[in-house]
Amino acid sequence: MIQELQSYSFPGNVRELENVILNAVAKTPDDQPVDEIDINSEISNASNISANLITIDEAVQQHIKSVLDYTNGNVQKAAAILGVSERTLQRRLQQMRNNKN
């Protein structure tokens, strides 16, 4: 178990390490020794979760794209749904285009 813990980088830092250990212990029968805990499955779960995490900016961009898809590219309707002015949405779209390049 110690080797597995040492070989994983824990991109989520101490909280991720704590969660991996707590989840592994919670899922282990009471009569099983601590050194026999299957930590690999918890590390695998943690790494899958970490791989799916995105920044707030990425989430906002995905949401804007979804709303624009929903409105068939109608910026006026999309801005109304998003609760922003058309100008704000246009500025955000320009920023998104600039960040792609």
Q: Nearest-CA neighbor of 45 among 27, 63, 23?
A: 23
CATH of span 56-100: 1.10.10
Domain ranges of the chain: 2-51, 56-100
Across 60-71, b (16+ Cβ under 10 Å) vs e yields ebeebeebbeeb
Which DSSP state fits 69? H
Q: Nearest-CA neighbor of 27 among 45, 12, 13?
A: 45
Residue 54 confidence (pLDDT): 73
Is this structure's pTM higher than 0.85?
A: no
Q: Which tens digit of pLDDT belongs to each residue from 60-84?
A: 999 999 999 999 999 999 999 999 9
Give the residue with greater pLDDT, 91 vs 48. Answer: 91
